Structure 1
Amino acid sequence: MGGIGKTTLAQLINNDDRVKRRFDLRIWVCVSNDSDFRRLTRAMIESVENSPCDIKELDPLQRRLQEKLSGKKLLLVLDDVWDDYHDKWNSLNDLLRCGAKGSVVVITTRVEIVALKMEPVLCLHMERLSDDDSWHLFERLAFGMRRREEYAHLETIGRAIVKKCGGVPLAIKALGNLMRLKKHEDEWLCVKESEIWDLRQEGSTILPALRLSYINLPPHLKQCFAYCSIFPKDYVMEKDRLITLWMANGFIACKGQMDLHGMGHDIFNELAGRSFFQDVKDDGLGNITCKLHDLIHDLAQSITSHECILIAGNKKMQMSETVRHVAFYGRSLVSAPDDKDLKARSLRSFLVTHVDDNIKPWSEDLHPYFSRQKYLRALAIKVTKLPESICNLKHLRYLDVSGSFIHKLPESTISLQNLQTLILRNCTVLHMLPKDMKDMKNLKYLDITGCEELRCMPAGMGQLTCLQKLSMFIVGKHDGHNIGELNRLNFLGGELRIKNLDNIQGLTEARDANLMGKKNLQSLNLSWQREISSNASMERSEEVLCGLQPHSNLKQLCISGYQGIKFPNWMMDLLLPNLVQISVEECCRCERLPPFGKLQFLKNLRLKSVKGLKYISRDVYGDEEIPFPSLESLTLDSMQSLEAWTNTAGTGRDSFPCLREITVCNCAKLVDLPAIPSVRTLKIKNSSTASLLSVRNFTSLTSLRIEDFCDLTHLPGGMVKNHAVLGRLEIVRLRNLKSLSNQLDNLFALKRLFFIECDELESLPEGLQNLNSLESLHINSCGGLKSLPINGLCGLHSLRRLHVLGCDKLASLSKGVQYLTALEHLYIHGC
C-alpha cells in the first residue's frame, strides 16, 4: 500500500547519525516505474559524485560505479521498486560485490512478489497505524498547540474522520493539515459526510482523503498544485522554477502590494504546509527544493489528465487537442515534433527536461513550430540556434535554453514584451546578449550562470527595475555599462556575481552599486580580473571593495582577485553577521584577515592564494569565548607565505567545536597545525614535510590522506601512532617513499589502505600483519614494488579485497596470500 510510511522509514534510517558513521557511502535512488538499468547505474554514480555523469553506455557506467564503490561500506536505498526482473537485480547485485563487508541494500516496494524475489535477509511489512496512533498524529496536526478544551467539541467528529483514513499516515497528514484551517463544527461535518469517502474508482490508487484535501484547496492553489504533474515522479522541483512557471501560466494573481513572486512564495509554503509537497529542503542560501509523494503525483495527474501530459523515456508522443502543457523527460529530441504529433495548437507549456547534459540540442529550423504555437507561455528547450521568429511568441513569459550551443540571442528577443524569465545557464559559447535588452521591462529573472564567454552587459540594464534575479553582472567602463546600473535594482535576490571590478574608478563609483540596499541577496561573488602593480591601483582596489558593502542579510561571500593590502571596515568589523560560507581567493597582497572566528553561523571557510598572509592567530579568532562555534570545513590552499597557524584558545577544546574536515594544500611554509579534537577528516597535499608531524595530534581522525610529498623518503616517526579510530589511510604520489618501517603497527581500526603512485616503494612493511581490521588494500601504480611481505599478510584475517594495478616489477604474489582466508576479490592488472 502507498502512503503507509515505507519511504519515510527508509529516510529516517538513511539520515540517522549512527548510520552515517557506520557507512562510507549512502546512496538513494528512486526506482519507481522506470527501472532502466543504465539510468539506475548513472543515478548511483551521480549520488556518489554529487554531479552529473556524462557517460552514456552501460559498460563504462558500470566500471565507473565499481571504481567509486570499491572497498567502501555502502548503504544503498532503492525506493519504490515495482519491477521483479530477476536478471536485472542479479546484475546489480554483482556490481555491488565490490563494496566492503557490511554493505547493506534497503528496498521499499508495494509489491510483495518484488520483495520475495530480492531474497532479503529481513522483510518488514509496514502495518497501518493503530486507532490511537492515528488520532495522536491527526490531533497534533489539526490542533497544534491549542488546549484540549478549545477543541473538545470537535473530537468525536475528528475521530470519525480519522477512522475513514484507514490508518494510512499520508492520508491522516493530509486531512490533519486540512482540518487545521477549519474552525467551525459544520465545516468538520461537511468533511466527515462528504460523498468522496464512498466513491471508489476502479483501479485507482488515489486515497479519498487526498481527493478531499485537494477539493478543499482555494482555486489558485488547485491550479498551482495540479501543474506539478508535468514533472516526473520523484523529480526534485526547485521552488523558484515552480513559481516562475506558475507566473508564466497566469496561475498567480496580484494581491494588494505583494508582487507575483511573493504570492508564489506564499502558495508554495501553503501547499507544503498542507502536505502536498514533501522532502522540502533549504540549503541555507535560499535555494529550496521539494518532491511530490507518488500518490500525490497520481492525484495531480488524475486532475490534469486532459490538459497536462508527461512523455518520459522513449514513449511515443500522443497528444489530444485538449492538451495545454507538455513536458519531455529523459528523451533525446533530435528534431521538432511533426504537425501530426501536435494536434494541440494552443499549447501553453512546452518543456524539455534532460536527465544529463549530453542530450543533443535541436538543430533544425524552429520557425514553423513557433508560427504554430503562438499562445505558448513557457518554453524550455536545448538548441543550437534560436530563430528571429521567436518574436512571434508574443505571450511567452518563460524561456529556458540552458546548455544550448547558441552564440547569441536574436535581437528580436526584445520583442517578447511579456517575458518574465530568461534562463541561459551554461550556454558556454554565448558571447552576446541583445543590445536593447533594457526595453524588456517585464523581465524579472535573468540567469546567465556559466556563460563565461560573455564579455559585457547590454547598455542600460539598470532600467530593468523589476529584476529579482541577475546571476552575473560584468562591469564596463562606459556609461550604461558601469557599476551604477545596479543602483536601482533593489529587488535582486539569490546569487549575484560581479565581474571585472577593475573597471570601477573608486569609492564613489562603487557605492553607486547600492549593494546595501539589496536586502534579498543571499550570495555575493566579487571578482577582479587584472593583476595590479602600482600603489595607486592597489589603493583604488581597496576603495572599491570598501564601497561594495552588502546588506547584513548576506549568507555567502566570495572575494576573488582583490589586490588591496587590507580588507575594508565592513569586513573587519563583521557587519555581515549571518554569513554561512566565506571564500577568499587570489588576494595576493592581503596581510591580515578579518576576525572570522566571531561569526556565529559560519560553516565553511576557504582561503586560497592569500599570499601576503603569514600567520593565522588571535586576530582571526577574535575575542569570542568560543571562536568559530559553527565551522565545519576549513580549506587552506596555495597559501605560500603562511608560516604558522596557532590556536590561541589554548588547548583547542574551546575553539572549532564543530570542525570536522581540514584540507591543507600547497602550503610550503606551514610547519604546524593546531590540535583540534573534533576533526575527523584531514587531507594534506604538497606542503611542508614538517606539517606532517602535526598529524599525530589529531587523535580522532577517521580518514587521512597524504598526497604529493615528492621529496619524502620516510614518513615522520610516530605520525599515525596514536590514531585508534583511523579507518581510512591514503598515501598518494609520495614518489620517493622507500619504506614505511613500522608506521602502521598500531592502526587497529584501519579498514581501508591505499598506496597510489609511490614509485620507489619496494615492499610493504611486515607490520602490516597487525592490521586485524583491514578489509581493503589497494596498491596502484607503485612501479618499484617487487614483492608483498609473506609475514605481513599473515595477520590480515579480515581482508576481503586486494587490488594491485600497474606495479611493473611485481613478478609474483607472495606465499602470504594463502593466509588471506577472508579474501573475496583479487584484482591484478598491469603487473
Structure 2
Amino acid sequence: MAEGFLHPSKGNKQMEDIGVEYFRDLSSRSFFQQSTGNKTLYVMHDLINDLAQFVARDICFSFEFHEDKLNDKVRHFSFVRNQYDTSKRFEMLYQMKRLRTLVALPVHNLPWATESYLSNNVLQKLLPRLVCLRVLCLSGYCIDELPHHIGGLIHLRYLNLSHTSIKSLPDSVGSLLNLQTLILHGCNNLTKLPQSIENLIHLHVIDLTDTDSLTEMPMQIGNLKKLQILSKFIVQRGSRSVITELKGLSHLQKDLSILGLENAVDTRDASAYVLKDKQGLKGLDLQWSHESIDHGNGDDGIHVFNMLQPHQNLERVRVAFYPGTKFPSWLGGSSSTKIVDINLSNCRNVTSLPELGRLPSLKKCSIEGMNGVKRLDIEFFGYGLNSLKPFKVLEVLQFKNMLNWEDWDYPDKTDKEDGEFPSLRELMIDNCPKLHRKLPAYLPALVKLAIRRCPHVAYSVMSLPSLLDLSIEHCNKMTPRSMVDLTSLTTLKIKSLSDLTSLADGFEQFPGALQHLILSQCTGLTSLWRKGKEELHRLVSLERLCIESCPKLVSFPETCLWSTLRRLWLRDLPLLKDLPCWIMSHNELTGCFLEDLEIEDCPSLTCFPKGKLPPTLKRLKIQDCVRLSLLPRD
C-alpha cells in the first residue's frame, strides 16, 4: 500500500484484503518462504533478495545503526549485506534523493532493541533530504523525539516508531496527509498525540497497543473515517474527547480498548449507539477507573454501557472496574451469540452475573473481584428463556478473588449424563474464602482442576474421569477422599493442608498413571504413609517427587517400589534425619534410577545411606545442609 503497488477494486474490498491476496499469490510462486524459526514470519530466498535489492537500488534500503550511547556522533554505521566504509555509507544515504523505503534494523535480534541508539542529530540531518520517502521504520531505537522536519515528508504513507522512547509527536505530523499507517506499539513513554492528527484523513491504522502512559486523545478523531485499526481510545475529563467520536468510525476492525469510561457523557439516547454497526470489531475492552468504583452510585455507568453495545460479530469482551450494580442486557443476551471469551474483572458493585450460560459460542470465562456477588444460580446458567443447554462448549472457567461468594447452585435441569459443564476442560477457583457449597459432581471432560485459598469448600463425591492435573492449596477441608474415577491423573500438587498427617488420609485410591507428586507447606505431615499401608506402592508411574516446607516430616519409608522415579527434590525439611535408602544403587538389579537429586535446607541430615549414588544421576544439588556429609556411611 505504501509504495502504491495496490489499486482499489471496483467492489467493496479493502486495500488490505487485496494486499493479502497478492501476498498469497507471491508466496505460492515461492517468492516468499515460511520461516522455519517462526511460522508467523516469511523470508525471501537469498537469490530473490539479491534481485530485489538490485532492482530497487536507490528506492529501497535497509541498514543497521551501531552507535555509541554517550556520543551523538555516529561511530559505526553498516548497511546490511554491504562492505562500504562508514563515510561512504553516510554519503550514499544522503545522496539517495529518490529513496522511498528506509528501514533501520535494530542491532540485536530481540522483539525490540533496548541498546540500539540513534542520535537526534542523525535524524535532523537525514530526514529533510529524503523527501520521496513512502516508508520510514525506526522501530526499536532509543529515540525520544522526532524532528519538526518530519512534516516535510509529504509522500510518507507508513511510519513505524514502535518500541522507541518517543514521548510525543511534533504537530508537523499533521502535514503527512498521505499517511496510512502509524505504529506506536510499545511506546511506553508516549503521553499524548498531537491535535493535528485529525488532519490525517487517509489513516487506516493507529496502533497504540502497550502505551501505558498515554492519557490524551485528539478531539476530532472521528474525522478519520478510513480508520480500520484503533487499538485504544481514551475518554478524557471535560469531554475533550467524547465517546461519540467513535460512532463515525464504521470500518473499525480487530481489537479496541476504551479507557476512562467514567468520563463518558451519559446521553440516555438510544440512537447514540457507537459500536453497533462495526461488523469487523472482534475484541472489546471496556475500562472504568479504579476510583469510580468507590465514588459511584447504583446506576453509574449502565447507560454508557448500553451505548457500547457491539455488533453481534464480537468474539471477545473484557469489562474492568464497571461501577454499576447490574450489567446491561446485551451482555449475555441473544445479540452476543459469537462471543467465545469473556472476562469480568473487579466490578465490585455488581450483585449478580449476566446470563452467560446463554452464550452458545462461549469457550472461556474469567470472573474476578466481583465482591458484590454472593451466589451463582439459575440466572447465571441462563435457564428459562430458551431450551438451549447452557455452557455447552465452555472449556475454561475461572473464578478469582470472589470475597463474598457463598453459594453455587446448579439447576435441576442439569443433564446427569453430561454434567453441568459437558465440555469444561479447566476449572480454577482461587481466593473465595466464603464459598462453602459443593463443587460440580460430574465433569466428564475436565483435564485440569485447581482449588486455592477456599478454606470452607468441602467435597461431595466428584467424578473426574479425564482429570490429568489436580492442585489443592490452602483448602483444609478438601481432601480427595471423595474423588472417584481418577484413572487419568498424572500431576497432583498439595499445598498448605495443615490437617494432613499422612498421604493415607484421604488418598486411598492413588491412580497408577500419577507421574508428578508435589507436597508443600503441609505443616502436619509426619510421614508419607502410615505403617502397614502400601497405597504409595501403587504409584507405578511416578517420575517426580517434590516435598518442601513440611516441618514435622522425620523420615521416609525404608522400601520403595518406584523404579520409574527420576527426580527427587527435598527442601526445607528441618526434622528430616535420614535419607531414604532406596536413593542409592546397591546392585545392577535393584535400587534407584534417579537422574536429578536436590536436597536443600535440611539441617538435621548427617550422611547419605549405605551404597553408591546411582550411575544414572545427572544433577546433584546440596544446599544449606550444614551437617550432611557427601560420603555415604559404611
- Shorter-chain TM-score tier: 0.7 to 0.9
Matched, 1:255 2:255: no
Aligned residue in 1 for 2:125:
368
Structure 2: how far apart are the matches of 1:565 and 1:654?
A: 31
Q: 1:274 to 1:771 in 2, by over 3 A?
A: same
Q: 1:752 to 1:276 in 2, by over 3 A?
A: farther
Alignment of 1:266-415 (within 5 A): 266-271=21-26, 290-292=40-42, 297-298=45-46, 300-307=48-55, 322-328=57-63, 335=74, 337=77, 340-342=88-90, 343-344=92-93, 345=96, 346-354=98-106, 355-356=109-110, 357-365=112-120, 366-381=123-138, 382=141, 383-415=143-175
Q: 1:627 to 1:808 in 2, by over 3 A?
A: same
Amino acid at match of 1:663: M
Structure 1: how far apart are the matches of 2:55 and 2:304?
A: 53
Q: 1:404 to 1:305 in 2, by over 3 A?
A: closer
Are the counterparts in 2 of residues 403 and 424 from structure 1 also a CA contact under 8 Å?
Answer: yes
For residues 616-639 of structure 1, give each alpha carbon's deviation from its aligned partner in whole angstroms, at most 9, with x where no partner exists: 444333446654333332222112
Q: 1:798 to 1:534 in 2, by over 3 A?
A: closer
Q: Secondary structure at the match of 1:368?
A: helix
Structure 2: how far apart are the matches of 1:504 and 1:627?
A: 34
Amino acid at match of 2:452: K
Q: 1:785 to 1:272 in 2, by over 3 A?
A: farther
Q: 1:279 to 1:304 in 2, by over 3 A?
A: closer
Matched, 1:799 2:594: yes
Matched, 1:730 2:518: yes
Equivalent of residue 209 in structure 2, options 427, 445, 449: 449
Q: 1:678 to 1:796 in 2, by over 3 A?
A: farther
Amino acid at match of 2:448: T
Are the counterparts in 1 of residues 61 and 103 from structure 2 also a CA contact under 8 Å?
Answer: yes
Give the percent of matched residue pairs that are identical in Structure 1 and Structure 2. 27
Instruction: List gaps (5 residues or longer) in structure 1.
Output: 1-246, 282-287, 309-321
Alignment of 1:170-189 (within 5 A): none
Q: Secondary structure at the match of 1:539?
A: coil
Matched, 1:790 2:580: yes
Matched, 1:749 2:541: yes
Equivalent of residue 631 in structure 1, options 381, 394, 397: 394
Are the counterparts in 2 of residues 726 and 749 from structure 1 also a CA contact under 8 Å?
Answer: yes
Equivalent of residue 461 in structure 1, options 221, 224, 240: 221
Instruction: List gaps (5 residues or longer) in structure 2.
Output: 78-85, 456-474, 530-534, 585-589, 626-634
Equivalent of residue 451 in structure 2, options 684, 693, 696: 684
Q: Secondary structure at the match of 1:741?
A: coil
Are the counterparts in 2 of residues 660 and 681 from structure 1 also a CA contact under 8 Å?
Answer: yes
Aligned residue in 2 for 1:669:
434
Q: 1:599 to 1:751 in 2, by over 3 A?
A: farther
Q: 1:533 to 1:341 in 2, by over 3 A?
A: closer
Q: 1:773 to 1:484 in 2, by over 3 A?
A: same
Deviation at 1:686, TM superposition (A): 2.9
Q: 1:786 to 1:536 in 2, by over 3 A?
A: closer
Q: 1:266 to 1:388 in 2, by over 3 A?
A: same
Structure 2: how far apart are the matches of 1:275 and 1:631?
A: 41
Matched, 1:524 2:289: no
For residues 734-779 of structure 1, give each alpha carbon's deviation from its aligned partner in whole angstroms, at most 9, with x where no partner exists: 27354353285543333223335x2625446428824443221233
Q: 1:458 to 1:289 in 2, by over 3 A?
A: farther
Alignment of 1:486-505 (within 5 A): 486-505=246-265
Q: Secondary structure at the match of 2:344?
A: strand
Alignment of 1:587-626 (within 5 A): 587-623=347-383
Amino acid at match of 1:784: P
Structure 1: how far apart are the matches of 2:153 and 2:131?
A: 5
Are the counterparts in 1 of residues 228 and 252 from structure 2 also a CA contact under 8 Å?
Answer: yes
Q: Secondary structure at the match of 1:502?
A: helix
Are the counterparts in 2 of residues 472 and 496 from structure 1 also a CA contact under 8 Å?
Answer: yes
For residues 71-118 of structure 1, give each alpha carbon's deviation from its aligned partner in whole angstroms, at most 9, with x where no partner exists: xxxxxxxxxxxxxxxxxxxxxxxxxxxxxxxxxxxxxxxxxxxxxxxx
Deviation at 1:640, TM superposition (A): 1.5
Q: How many pairs were matched up?
A: 559
Structure 1: how far apart are the matches of 2:125 and 2:573?
A: 62
Alignment of 1:499-578 (within 5 A): 499-506=259-266, 508=268, 512=272, 514-532=274-292, 537-578=297-338
Deviation at 1:592, TM superposition (A): 2.4
Aligned residue in 2 for 1:777:
568
Structure 2: how far apart are the matches of 1:636 and 1:291?
A: 36
Structure 2: how far apart are the matches of 1:650 and 1:291?
A: 46
Amino acid at match of 2:523: N
Structure 2: how far apart are the matches of 1:339 and 1:509?
A: 65
Matched, 1:760 2:551: yes
Matched, 1:640 2:403: yes
Q: 1:414 to 1:704 in 2, by over 3 A?
A: farther
Q: Secondary structure at the match of 1:508?
A: coil
Amino acid at match of 2:133: L
Of Structure 1 and Structure 2, the greater helix share is in 1
Alignment of 1:81-160 (within 5 A): none
Deviation at 1:826, TM superposition (A): 1.7
Q: 1:403 to 1:724 in 2, by over 3 A?
A: same
Structure 1: how far apart are the matches of 2:302 and 2:502?
A: 44
Matched, 1:693 2:483: no
Structure 2: how far apart are the matches of 1:820 and 1:593?
A: 57
Q: Secondary structure at the match of 2:256?
A: strand
Aligned residue in 1 for 2:472:
none
Deviation at 1:536, TM superposition (A): 6.6
For residues 302-330 of structure 1, give each alpha carbon's deviation from its aligned partner in whole angstroms, at most 9, with x where no partner exists: 5414146xxxxxxxxxxxxx243333589
Deviation at 1:400, TM superposition (A): 1.2
Are the counterparts in 1 of residues 497 and 522 from structure 2 also a CA contact under 8 Å?
Answer: yes
Q: TM-score, normalised by structure 1?
A: 0.61
Q: 1:504 to 1:647 in 2, by over 3 A?
A: same
Are the counterparts in 2 of residues 407 and 429 from structure 1 also a CA contact under 8 Å?
Answer: yes
Q: 1:645 to 1:534 in 2, by over 3 A?
A: closer
Which has the higher mean CA deviation after the structures are superposed, 271-280 or 534-543? Answer: 271-280
Q: Secondary structure at the match of 2:206?
A: strand
Structure 2: how far apart are the matches of 1:540 and 1:393?
A: 47
Aligned residue in 2 for 1:419:
179
Are the counterparts in 1 of residues 65 and 117 from structure 2 also a CA contact under 8 Å?
Answer: no
Are the counterparts in 1 of residues 340 and 361 from structure 2 also a CA contact under 8 Å?
Answer: yes
Tell me the C-alpha RMSD between the 2 structures.
3.5
Matched, 1:823 2:605: no
Q: 1:396 to 1:606 in 2, by over 3 A?
A: same
Q: Secondary structure at the match of 2:560?
A: helix
For residues 408-461 of structure 1, give each alpha carbon's deviation from its aligned partner in whole angstroms, at most 9, with x where no partner exists: 112222121111111111111111211222112121111111111111212111
Amino acid at match of 1:304: A
Deviation at 1:351, TM superposition (A): 2.2
